[in-house]
Amino acid sequence: MGKKYNSFDEYYEFYLSKHKNPLNRFLHLLGNIATIAFVVSVFKFDLSLWWLLLTPFVVYPLAALGHFICEGNMPAFLSGNPIYAKMSDWKMLYQWLTGKLK
């Protein structure tokens, strides 16, 4: 189990420290777009909702690739708080796309 964080903001600072490389952030963006497309496809093509259990396997390979190749570190979701990691992922991407994160 990883370090305990007192707040989401504290965790987010840790998360950003693992995502400094723009190519890593771009791979996260692609992974999240692929995830959205996957979820939409499950509903559009009336697939069994069991398919949604595969959703993490859409984004994490691209994200892990970014960490291992671009950053040389382990993905933040392995830090023991996968919920905060996913929340941070979406916040980072929003801030990056809106220019609030350099």
- The ranges assigned to domains in the chain are 8-97
Question: Residue 21's pLDDT is what?
Answer: 95
How do residues 31-86 score in pLDDT, each as one tens digit? 999 999 999 999 999 999 999 999 989 988 999 999 999 999 999 888 888 899 99
Question: Residue 69's pLDDT is what?
Answer: 95
As a whole number, mean pLDDT of residues 11-34 equals 94
Question: Residue 101's pLDDT is what?
Answer: 86
- What are the C-alpha distances in Å from 101 to residues 40, 47, 69, 94? 28, 37, 21, 9
| Residue 102 confidence (pLDDT) above 80 | no
Question: Residue 78's pLDDT is what?
Answer: 85
Helix axes of 8-17 and 82-97: crossing angle, nearest 10 degrees: 70
How do residues 92-101 score in pLDDT, each as one tens digit? 989 988 999 8
Q: Tokens representing 4?
A: 């305990």
